[in-house]
Structure 1
Amino acid sequence: MSRPAFLDQEPPPGYISGIGRGATGFTTSADTGSLQPGFTIENGEESDDNLAGEIGDEGAILASGKNRDKEDEEADQIYEEIERKLQRRKVLKEEAVSEAENQSYEIKSKFSDLKRSLSSISAEQWEALPEVGDITRRNKRTRLYEQQQQRTYAVPDSVIAGSIARASPTNFQSISESRDQLLSSQLDSLLPKHEIEFNAEEATEILKNDQHVQIADIRKGRQILASLRRTQPNSSNSWIASARLEEQATNYTMAKKLIIEGCKHAPKSEDIWLESIRIHKLTSEGAKMCKVIVAESLKYNPGSEKLWIQAENLENSIDVVSRKRILMRAIEAIPSSASLWKRLVDLETNQDDVSKILTKAIELCPTEWDFWLTLINSSEYKDAKTLLNRARKALNGNYQVWITAAKLEERENSTIDSSKISKLMDKAFKETEKSTTTISRTTWLEEAIKAEEEGFRNTCRAIVNSLLSSEINQDNPEENLVTWFQDAETLASKESVEAANYIHQFIVETNPHSINSWKELFSFLKNSSNRNLDTLFNYYKRSIELNPKVEVLHLMYAKDLWQLAGNIVEARKVLNAASHGLENNEEVWFARIKLEIKSGNFEQALSISSKMIKAIPTSSDRVWYKHIHLVRCMNNREQNPNYEGQILALLESGLDSFPESPRLHLQKIQVLLRDLRKPDIARESARAAVEKLPSIVELWILLSHIDEQHLNILIKARSVLDTAILKNPTSDKLWTAKIQLERRNKDFVAARQLVNKGLKAFPKSSRIWIEYLSLIPKMSHRKTAFLDALKSTENSPEILLGIGVFFWLDSKHSKAKSWFERALSNDRNSGECWGWLFNFMKSYGKQQEKENLINSFESHYEEINKGDIWNSTNKDITNFEKTPKEILELVSKVLISKYST
């Protein structure tokens, strides 16, 4: 194939390779030349000839305006508008420049006369002008300069410890400032004396506060301290600091030399002598040189207690005679020094000599209570009383004198009447009230604790009684009870059981008819670490003597005799005695019956119950209910051939006395239905009951249950519930019963409809929410409903337990446990919460956890009264003799069987 001819030709002007097929994305002036066809520039000038000749027809068309559309006209208008704006901006800029030039000329013209007057200023005046500082970023530069000038020092622990010991804070800012002044000052050897400006007072203060700070530059430190010694030669601080500096530099010879010289310049300063002793102890001379120093120091400072103590310490510890001799000389110099007298007493072993020393000590130091106390404790009773009288006069208002007097009386006579000691303490409170010193109640309680620890119980009690008596409000004696009970708790926590007991005794003595006070006392005594049952029972007797008509005291006493002491005989006596004084009190009768049942005396229990029916037949329907229940249980144990006539007669008698008693009607229906197996008669009895008591929903539910479960008439069962709802429209329990009826009969559509209606009518009903959650088939769908149920019922225990049950059924047992525990913590009276948690512990818990749960359950057994399954199981006559643990086992099994089906 031959080569195309156009490939050897020049491309036309403006040609771009591949542009026709879109092979290039953009073009530049380098590709196309001028923006207009045929436009060229030669030597930087436009060629008019080429321009005119090469425009051709196309240029003519553009120039003539042919083929121009609306867009071209709009573009021209835009370009013209832009051009006008640019021209206007240029004009404004030129005007601004012109105005600025005019203003500059006006300012220059204003100062022209001042400029001309500068020609008359002399050279001296020019030189006197101050330098113009550069204030640019002046504040920042000043701050940076100040930061550069700051210095930091590592302060050793000794400085901090020393400041704490002096009970005054170390001024580290003062230390830094003074250090700068010391280190920046010129030394005497380098400057003439008239140029030295040294603040000796400030340097002395800093050295005094910072004696143990390490000096980094030893040479400068020596120069500074030398200057300080020359400036203030009689100041001990400079000599001490100089010696310590040399000690830090391990130059002990110079340290000793300086401190000895310092002692010569400041001989009346005990600090410099003590420092000298300390330094010389570290050297080879040891104690021998120190004795010489301390002897010399005492010539100048005979009244220094510290130096005398140093002198005594320097003696051999075994040489008691020398130590006594020094202390006696010290006391001659300082007879009022209590510390010296104490050291002398400590060295004396002979009791007679001790008494003589103490006698002299209290003459010279009459306000030192420790001397009085030691002498009193070592004296005979008669002498001690004399000393106490003297101490009372010398130490006016000192409460310890009176406490010691009380202890003395108790020590000498253990059988002393406690009222005598109480009088002493009452006087103590009166004396302290007159004095200017206020004794806090905490101090008095601490003294009571101390007296108890020392074995002075009567004194302890007297302190407590006097303190509480001074606080009692005569108008409202019980006003302080909260504070006093808190005091007793605090004392008991400190193992001061007797003192706490005395507080409780005072409370019940001042409030003998306050039953709460007696209960608090009994609770304290029972929970005490060293519980004494005899003391507890004595208080019970006392409370009953003061409040014979309060049955709770009799019941508590009998219960504790039975459960704490295991003394059923005494418990029976207490209850029998109570029944004579409170013959119409049904609680006492019930307690007597329960005691016999728990102790296995069922015949005796039935006999007492029969007597109760005859004694108080109209007391309450509970009396008849309890008696009939016991008769049923006894018949279950041993079949009674006359049971039917007997039980029906009892029911009729009870209903005659209380015809509108729901519990008796329910009991009668249960007897007919379960004991006598007569569902038809039971239904008639239930129908008559609902006619008489239409507001009792339990009767309606039981009637429906008979129709459904025993007579198999489902239509009647539904009709009964519908009628019940019409008569009791505000009862969610009836709605729940109706929903459960449909669920039992597998009509889930009707059940869901009823649940939806029920939630509209009772949005906060836990029962209906449980039914709603039960009808949700999948666990994943239930989770969002859980939140709605919790929110609507405000986290009710029933919903918490129900969620736990759903997790259990979903085999998520750990989650179930957490929900069971939450439900139980919210309601410990729910038997079903205990049952479900026991199910978990039985299958997955540790043995110790299971035992702890059982123990906790047994302690709460009497209060547990909630839960349909719990109540039906616990009250079942077949479980009459079962223990609480066995009842819990049964409940847990019933719960599993109910929810597994």
Structure 2
Amino acid sequence: MSRRDFLSMPAPENYVAGLGRGATGFTTRSDLGPAREGPSEDQIKAAVAKRTAQLGLGGDNAKDDDNDDAARYQDPDNEVGLFAGGFYDKEDEEADKIWEDIDEKMASRRRKQREAREKAEREEYERQNPKIQQQFAGLKRKLAELTDDDWANIPEAKDATGKTKRARQARMERFYAVPDSVLAAARDQGQFGTTVADDGTATSATPGGTETTTDFAKIGAARDKVLKARLEQTSQTSGLATAGSATSLDPRGYLTSLASTQGAEQSIGDIEQFRKMLKSAVDSNPKQASSWMAAARLEMTAGKPGAARKLIAAGCQHCPKNEDIWLENININDTHNAKIIAAEAIRNNPKSVKLWVAAMKLENDQRSRKKVIRKALDHNPQSEALWIHAVNLEEDVEDARILLAKATELIPESLDLWLRLAHLETPENARKVLNKAVKKLPNSHELWIAAARLEEQLGEGARRPVMKNAVKFLVKQNAMPKREEWIAEAEKCEDEGAVITCSNIIEETLGWGLDEDDDRKELWMEDAKASISREKYATGRAIYAYALRVFPNSKSLYLAAVDLEREHGNKEDLWNALEKAVEACPHQETFWLMLAREKAGEINEARRVLARAFKQNPDNEDIWLAAVKLEADNGFIDQARDLLKTARQNAPTDRVWMRSVAFERQLGNSEAALDLVIDALRLFPNAPKLWMMKGQIYEDMDQPAQAREAYGAGVRAVPSSVPLWLLYSRLEERLNNVVKARSVLDRARQAIPKSAELWTELIRLERRAGNITQAKTLMATALQQMPKSGLLWAERILHLEQRTQRKSLLAEAMKKVENDPVLMVTAAYILWKERKLEQADKWFERALKLDTDHGDTWAWYYKFLLQHGTEEKRAGLVSRCVLAEPRHGEYWQRVAKMPKNAGKGTGEMLKLVAASLPE
């Protein structure tokens, strides 16, 4: 009975699938490896015998079949089996060799074509699929161009793992069962008990019972050790420029210099990354010297001079024709090795001037240096720099002259060599040298300037027209420089003390190339101001002198020239400039008054000046008043009174009458002053100052009713005078009539609605009366009408708001009001009270630069310096104030108009006004 489950039964022992159909394991030449190992020979014989027995075959027939099977399954390519009994003789060897040659010849016939095809295919594949190294080869070469700041600013690589949306979602969808021990540990985390022992150790205990001990003494020692290592590293790298010399480090300046070395520390922090990048750059392009130099400098920065020297030496081998890498190698080695390196560098680059100079500087004695330079000149006879070094090394003037003579023969186009030779020659020979140089360098204007300076040194600068000839010659050669270049050359001559040459250059070249249609006067004034701003006063003086020859009657030019002499010249130069001004412009009273003022110290000279001025301007009120001031300031009261009387007859102007009234008032003659002001008002009823003086005289005489009447009549006659309204209101306030004062100011605002002074006075009136709410209401209305008034903003910030709101209001005011000195002084005052003294000082200076005529700014600044300034700075401020001569300002005019302060100088007035300022 056959079994149906034979498929699930194990195979019989020694079963080989397909063996009955003749299948067996074999190996062919085309296979990559051996085939599956088949059954052994004994196994095959046993299987065949068993098969034969099952089929009823046996005896001889079985043996014959066995032999047939053996012959049938014999491998025909197996020559061992086919020719096992044969002999391998010389003919067989020769045949095998012939076939090998044929195979090799057939293979080499298409080898070149095959290799070219394979190379093209490989290049095409590499082009389409470049390696990462090839993609970044260009960027690696550009690494040599990066500066230290670029290296320091390379950002750190960021970790982007787990940043994708899918990763975040997957991470949020994971849930784990947390043990209770983890939760308990998290609960107790951070709960420590720490005790510090006397020996500097700290013991920390956790709830779990474990203890950790911290030794603060060891921590401090470790910190000191790290600091010491950094100091030693800095001391090693700080003196590498001076090879062979001992380096030193100032410990006191170490901490203060940390701020300047933050960039270096940042680059050193990434030293490994930079080293790898530079190594890649060097490996990819070893012929690029900048990569080797950058790598060596990196090692020097890292404190490894030995590694740096090895790198730069390898770089010199790869780039022997690059002089910069040799110089870098010389600089980072000591003197002995540097000399050897310099010799090798010069052998590779005998034409390099820099290398010869570096080799010369390595020598210690003068003789060796001369020897090196002369060898350098043998290789580079056309090098101007080497000749200059050779001349500088010579101690004997005659030897230097001989060298320069030879140098000018070899390099006739060198301007510097010609000028040096002329400087060493005698005056007569110097002229000959410069003449030769002009022939060799006909387009050089520097040679002509040198000739002019030579004539100045010989005392012939004023007589010999060298610069005039120079201009003619250069124009013919079509080599005339621009006007700006000539001005620069003149300033250079001024710096070197050749003032006459400077003046001659300006005189001969300033007008060249300019037509009469050009705005020459303004252009020359700008040139002069530019030179003066660069502190080239002789050049500016020469420009003004030339411009005045072209425009002899220009008032603006004379004023600018006089200002230059007043600020940067001496008294004689100022007098000469004013004398030229009054001769050129005799009808300009400004120059006469300035000259008389400058000679006020010599009263007879000042009188002569004014007498000359009277002849030219007989009815000029300014000259009359100047004469009166001169006599009054010198104590000649009767002469001053007589002059005023004559002036009222010859020049009957309101100013003359006001000066007459003020003169009598200053002397204390109130009755005479009152008579004069009444007579003056009959002639000039619309002069507001006369009405103010009348009211002030009545106040001085303690007659308030008459003063009120005078002010009332004045505001009716001249309702547009703000000072007159203010005097009227203040008189009523002093008489305790606040309602009347308010009424006066209301009438004034109706007459002059846009006056910030009137609005401010009304606000102050309410504030002094205690009506703060009304004052704030008025301030809001005033700022709506005049939002750009610095006076109103200052009053609000200082007196109507709390201290905490001052800064915000000040910032708002600065946005709306631009360039207002009152507001700037307010800002300085706030900073002053907050003890920010440096900032307050800057704001005072800004206010002075904005308006020097505002006297209150000078006074507040002086008061500030009295508390927080030095005596030298206060004296400087007074000097500046005297030069500026301020005339305006609320407090300044109030003090200056007092009769008792008449005749006082600006410096004394500054101190009086500063003393009158409120706290």
> Given the two structures, how large is their TM-score scaled by the length of structure 1?
0.55
CA distance in 2, matches of 1:307, 1:788: 64
Match of 1:430 among 454, 458, 475: 475
Q: 1:654 maps to which residue?
A: 680
Distance in 2, matches of 1:749 and 1:681, equals 35
Instruction: After superposition, give the CA deviation of every residue in 1:594-620 in whole Å (9 maximum; x if it has no partner).
Output: 3444444444443433332222103xx
CA shift, 1:554, in A, is: 2.6
Deviation at residue 632 of structure 1 after TM alignment:
0.8
Residues 342-393 of structure 1 show CA distances to partners (whole Å, capped at 9, x for unaligned) of: 8999999999999899878766665455676567667777776666555444
- Per the TM alignment, residue 661 of structure 1 is displaced from its structure 2 partner at its CA by 1.0
Are 1:461 and 2:461 an aligned pair?
Answer: no
**Residue 682 of structure 1: which of 707, 716, 722 is its match?**
707
Tell me: CA distance 1:307–1:718, structure 2 relative to 1, closer, same or farther (3 Å): closer
Change (3 A) 1:794 1:151: closer
DSSP-derived class of the 1:863 partner: coil
Select between 334-343 and 424-433 the one with higher mean Cα deviation.
334-343
Cα 1:554/1:274, change in 2 over 3 Å? same
For residue 156 of structure 2, what is the aligned residue in structure 1?
none
Question: In structure 2, what is the equivalent of residue 632 of structure 1?
Answer: 665
1:787 deviation in Å? 7.0
Question: Quick one: which amino acid aligns to residue 548 of structure 1?
Answer: P
Distance in 1 (CA, whole Å) between partners of 2:750 and 2:904 is: 41
Q: What's 1:264 paired with? A: none
Residue identity in the other structure for 2:561: L
Structure 1: distance between partners of 2:454 and 2:710: 81
Shift of 1:670: 1.9
In structure 2, the residue matched to 1:553 is 591
Is 1:590 matched with 2:629? no
| Structure 2 partner of 1:663 | 689
Do the aligned partners of 2:422 and 2:430 also contact (CA within 8 Å) in 1?
yes
Mapped partners of 2:829, 2:294: distance in 1: 73
Residue-by-residue CA offset, 1:315-342 (whole Å, 9 max, x unaligned): 999999x999x989x99x9998989998
The alpha carbon displacement at 1:821 in A equals 4.1
Pairing 1:298-697 to 2, within 5 Å after superposition: 366-367=412-413, 389-410=435-456, 414-415=459-460, 417-418=462-463, 420-434=465-479, 439=481, 444-445=486-487, 447-448=489-490, 451=493, 456-475=498-517, 476-481=519-524, 483-485=526-528, 488-489=531-532, 492=535, 497-528=537-568, 531-562=569-600, 566-618=601-653, 621-634=654-667, 636=668, 644=671, 646-675=672-701, 677-697=702-722
Sequence identity (%):
27
Query: In the alignment, residue 503 of structure 2 is paired with which amino acid?
Result: R
1:627 Cα deviation after fit: 1.7
Task: Note the C-alpha offset of 1:524.
Answer: 3.2
CA contact under 8 A between 1:770 and 1:799: conserved in structure 2? yes
SS of equivalent residue, structure 2 residue 524: helix
Q: For the aligned residues, what is the CA RMSD?
A: 6.6
Query: In the superposition, relative to structure 1, how do residues 211 and 513 fare at CA in structure 2: closer, same or farther (>3 Å)?
Result: same
Residue 502 (structure 1) shift = 2.6
Structure 1 SS opposite 2:695: helix
Aligned CA distance change for structure 1 residues 818 and 402 (closer, same or farther; 3 Å): closer
Q: CA deviation at 1:448?
A: 3.9
Q: 1:468-516: CA deviations, max 9, x gaps?
A: 2324343221253255225523663xxx654453334323333333333
Q: Which amino acid aligns with 2:524?
A: L
**Preserved contact between residue 776 and residue 782 of structure 1 (Cα < 8 Å):** no
Which residue does the alignment assign to 2:79?
A: none
CA contact (8 A) 1:798 1:823 kept: no
Q: Which residue of 1 aligns with 2:208?
A: none
1:424-472 superposed Cα distances (whole Å, 9 cap, x missing partner): 22224314525xxx75667645654565566654433322333323243
Q: Which residue of 2 aligns with 1:275?
A: 347
CA distance in 2, matches of 1:758, 1:877: 34
Residues 522, 147 of structure 1: alpha-carbon distance in 2 compared, 3 angstrom cutoff = same
CA distance in 1, matches of 2:830, 2:356: 85
Q: Distance in 2 between matches of 1:380 and 1:705?
A: 82
Deviation at 1:664, TM superposition (A): 1.0
Q: How does 1:683-722 map to 2 (within 5 A)?
A: 683-703=708-728, 709-710=734-735, 720-721=744-745
Cα pair 1:312 1:327 within 8 Å, conserved: no
CA shift in 2, pair 1:790/1:572, >3 Å:
same
Equivalent residue runs for 1:63-212 within 5 Å:
142-143=131-132, 180=283
AA aligned opposite 1:623: V
AA in 2 matched with 1:581: Q
Asked whether the equivalents of residues 540 and 557 of structure 1 are also in contact (C-alpha less than 8 Å), the reply is yes
Distance 2:792 2:385 in 1: 83
Whether the aligned pair in 1 keeps the contact of 2:733 and 2:741 (CA below 8 Å) is yes
- Conserved 8 A contact 1:305-1:337: yes
How far apart, in 2, do the equivalents of 1:888 and 1:748 lie?
Answer: 33
Contact 2:593 2:626 in 1 (8 A): yes
Rounded Cα–Cα distance in structure 2 between residues aligned with 1:787 and 1:212:
50
Distance verdict in 2 for CA 1:123–1:657, change over 3 Å: farther
The 8 Å contact of residues 488 and 499 in structure 1, kept in 2 or not, is answered as yes
Residues 854 and 784 from structure 1, CA distance in 2 versus in 1: closer, same or farther, beyond 3 angstroms? closer
* TM superposition shift of 1:633: 0.6
Match of 2:897 among 861, 875, 881: 875
Describe the SS at the equivalent of 1:433: coil
Structure 1 residue identity aligned to 2:651: I
Cα deviation for residue 629 of structure 1 reads 0.6
Q: TM-score normalized by structure 2?
A: 0.54
Indicate conservation of the 8 Å contact 1:841/1:849, yes or no.
no
Secondary structure of 2:685's aligned partner: coil
d(CA) in 2 for partners of 1:814 and 1:341? 59
Superposed counterparts of 1:754-765, under 5 Å: none
Rounded to whole Å, the distance in 2 between the matches of 1:830 and 1:847 is 23
* Counterparts in 2 of 1:839 and 1:569: CA distance versus 1, 3 Å: same
1:771-786 matches, cutoff 5 A: none
**Is the Cα–Cα contact under 8 Å of residues 175 and 206 in structure 1 kept in the other structure?**
no
Deviation of residue 881 (structure 1)?
5.0
Tell me the alpha carbon deviations over residues 127-166 of structure 1, each in whole angstroms, 9 at most, x when there is no partner.
99x9xx9xxxx999943897899999999xxxxxxxxxxx
Change in Cα spacing, 1:222 to 1:873, as seen in structure 2 (3 Å) is closer
Give distance in 2, aligned partners of 1:217 and 1:813. Answer: 54
Q: Which amino acid aligns with 1:543?
A: A
The equivalences for 1:729-740 within 5 A come to none
Closer/same/farther in 2, CA of residues 467 and 661 from structure 1, 3 Å limit: same
CA distance, structure 2, for counterparts of residue 823 and residue 501 of structure 1: 29
Q: Which stretches in structure 1 are left out of the alignment for 5+ residues?
A: 1-121, 156-171, 182-201, 229-234, 260-269, 279-300
For 1:430, the aligned partner's letter is: V
**Distance in structure 1 (CA, Å) of the matches to 2:129 and 2:771:** 87
Matched, 1:865 2:888: yes
